[in-house]
Amino acid sequence: MLLIAFYGLFMVAAAAKKYNEKNDRCRYCHFLVSTFEMGLLRTARKHFAGGDTAWEEKKLGKYATSETRLVETMETICKKNSIVEIGDYQGLPELEFRCNALVEEYEDLIEKYYYKHQSSNMTQWLCEEQTKRRFTFLSLSSSK
């Protein structure tokens, strides 16, 4: 009987840990999205540095969807000073560290969002839909 009680307690603790890890991952992803979107806002009115905008757009494409803008946006991703209101985020050093780990893991998805899905909600697209797909795939492949 005591063994069953310990097993039940272990299962509850394992479920709670998994729940906390999922919530933490969501928190890091939301911070990633917030800083990425602030970077997009910060670079929204910028353009290529040259003086001939018509030539630049013809030869280099639109700045709004350029690799240059993506790089400039990525330079400030996961940095606390990228967000004006930082009050909701506790434990900033760890948050920035974990967020950067997510950027490394999701780099291909961030680029895919930037080039093909900017019209959609990034939080929903990245933090909910894409993350769920990745976890489902990882869970299925690790159970084999």
Q: Please list, in sequence order, all residues whose beta carbon lies within 8 angstroms of the beta carbon of residue 67, skipping any fewer than 6 positions away.
A: none
pTM over cut 0.85: no
What's the pLDDT tens digit per position in 64-77? 788 888 999 999 99
Question: Do the Cβ atoms of 95 and 5 come closer than 8 Å?
Answer: no
Give the span between the Cα atoms of 129 and 117, in whole angstroms. 13
For 30-61, write each residue's pLDDT tens digit: 999 999 999 999 888 766 555 556 655 565 56
